[in-house]
Amino acid sequence: MAKAPGSIRDSICGYLQTIGGEGSIEEISRAVVAQMGATSPSSIRSYLNNNVGKSFERVGRGRYRLKANSHDFTLLPAKLDLGPVVIVGKAKLYEADCFEWLASEPVSSIHACVTDPPYGLLEYTEEEQEKLRKGRGGVWRIPPSFDGAKRAPLPRFTVLDENDRLKLHAFFKRFGILLNRVLVPGGNVVVASNPLLSHIVASAMSEGGLEVRGQIIRLVMTMRGGDRPKNAHLEFPDVSVMPRSMFEPWVVLRRPLEGRVQDSLRYHKTGGFRRISDEKPFRDVIASQKTPKREREIAPHPSVKPQSFLRQVVRAALPMGQGTVLDPFAGSGSTLAAANAVGYRSVGIESDPKYVKVAKSAIEQLGSLQEIDPI
Ligand SMILES: C[S@@+](CC[C@H](N)C(=O)[O-])C[C@H]1O[C@@H](n2cnc3c(N)ncnc32)[C@H](O)[C@@H]1O
């Protein structure tokens, strides 16, 4: 089908702008096809060649970037000059912005991604973190105590309006594009989400070029939902505004395969999920629980996830147990700890130095826990 005039140009520029750096013809073509459907490689190549010096610079054989003055954006260095901040076992944690890190990493260098991103867009900003630490105001709230137990702070999702949702979509689309770049074909992506927003994550990341493969349901009772109508609970005692949430969805995607599953397994060590045992395939419903107190004490982060769940997901994410698992929103390093526990190589990125400090000791301690309170 004929493409709208200018659509190939917009798609190429959009991709190069998102990665903020340079891309090869193959990467650019992949991004254009992911966005626009089948597009002839020759039209992409000729558009790039005809516009060298105008919109693009050629920075090596078959490699292009936007001209610095052609758009209002900041070019990233070709390679961020970062040393590993923390190395524990087979895990490396960098203190960086993961979007910058992803844009400057070599392509096809990561075999799976397991991560728990920020959702409110706001909740991990310096300002909101300061309010959380002071225990006053902002998007963090302490749920009412229940059965006498003190609750940990939770961010309010209801503060997201339509505009925030659009921003969230843009955030996850950009994340999908950048992740797609560094993953090897067939690489799995598992992203923590919530029932109100998982559809946005799935659609935005698939617009970024990843393929949606379903969801993993973490069976955990959260304190969300189930409440009677605010200020009218006596009048409507039999009504809950929303169902009490009993699960946390983790969106499953992958970089599309090149060839058959068996080819991907042979050449890239990706293309499936590692089985639990001969008899048991990995399953998409996992009985879980709140993160145990012991783990929250080792890793004081408001969103720390339990080792019992993470170890199962991380283990399954590399079908042959070979390769590197990435967590670009590493927080306290719980995914890296889980990777160490199952013997995998891992890389984490965390932008907040306070959480990098937490992770320094938490990766070791969480990773070496023997009794992880499985359900
Ligand atoms: C929901 S938390 C993840 C917590 C993690 N699951 C754990 O068990 O500790 C998200 C983390 O992403 C970090 N973050 C937010 N934006 C980031 C970015 N652009 N690059 C890297 N880290 C970021 C936040 O500081 C926060 O620690």
Q: With CA atoms as reference, report the closest residue to 112 among 184, 197, 21.
A: 184
* Cα of 117 from ligand 1 centre, angstroms: 6
Alpha-carbon gap, residue 254 to 187, rounded angstroms: 5
| 349 ligand 1 Cβ < 6 A | yes
Query: Token digits for 252?
Result: 């499953």
| Count of structural domains within the chain | 2
Q: Contact at 8 Å (CB) between 193 and 251?
A: yes
| 304 ligand 1 Cβ < 6 A | yes
* Cα of 359 from ligand 1 centre, angstroms: 11
Alpha-carbon gap, residue 219 to 289, rounded angstroms: 7
Alpha-carbon gap, residue 234 to 231, rounded angstroms: 8
Residue 224, pLDDT score: 75
Which residue's CA is the nearest one to ligand 1's atom 14? Answer: 329
Query: Token digits for 229?
Result: 């109508």
Q: Which residues contact 42 (CB under 8 A, 6 or more apart)?
A: none
Residue 169, pLDDT score: 92
CATH code of the domain covering residue 28 = 1.10.10
239: in domain: yes
131: in domain: no
The single-letter code of the amino acid at 357 is: K
192: in domain: yes
Q: Contact at 8 Å (CB) between 208 and 177?
A: yes
Residue 374, pLDDT score: 58
Residue with tokens 């105590």: 145
* Cα of 4 from ligand 1 centre, angstroms: 39
**Are 49 and 172 members of one domain?**
no
Helix, strand, coil share of the chain (percent; to 5): 35, 20, 45
* Cα of 213 from ligand 1 centre, angstroms: 24
Closest ligand 1 atom to residue 333 Cα is: 9
| 303 ligand 1 Cβ < 6 A | yes
**Are 164 and 207 members of one domain?**
yes
* Cα of 171 from ligand 1 centre, angstroms: 14
Residue 122, pLDDT score: 64
78: in domain: no
**Are 45 and 188 members of one domain?**
no
The number of beta carbons lying within 10 Å of the beta carbon of residue 112 is: 30
**Are 239 and 292 members of one domain?**
yes
**Are 284 and 323 members of one domain?**
yes
296: in domain: yes
Alpha-carbon gap, residue 179 to 295, rounded angstroms: 29
Counting as low any pLDDT under 70, the low residues of the chain are 1-3, 5, 68-81, 83-84, 120-123, 137, 139-159, 223, 373-375
* Cα of 54 from ligand 1 centre, angstroms: 38
**Are 229 and 313 members of one domain?**
yes
Residue 321, pLDDT score: 98
**Are 32 and 92 members of one domain?**
no
Residue 307, pLDDT score: 97
pTM for the whole thing?
A: 0.82
User: pLDDT tens across 280-329, in order?
Assistant: 999 999 999 999 999 999 999 999 999 999 999 999 999 999 999 999 99
Strand partners, 214: 252
**Are 306 and 187 members of one domain?**
yes
**Are 192 and 224 members of one domain?**
yes
Cα torsion 155, 199, 324, 294 to 10°: value is 30
Range(s) of the domain holding residue 184:
86-121+160-367
CATH code of the domain covering residue 270 = 3.40.50.150
**Are 61 and 92 members of one domain?**
no
User: pLDDT tens across 178-218, in order?
Assistant: 999 999 999 999 999 999 899 999 999 999 999 999 999 99
**Are 55 and 105 members of one domain?**
no
79: in domain: no
107: in domain: yes
Which residue's CA is the nearest one to ligand 1's atom 3? Answer: 331
Closest ligand 1 atom to residue 119 Cα is: 1
| 124 ligand 1 Cβ < 6 A | yes
Q: Contact at 8 Å (CB) between 375 and 312?
A: no
350: in domain: yes
Residue 71, pLDDT score: 41
**Are 344 and 237 members of one domain?**
yes
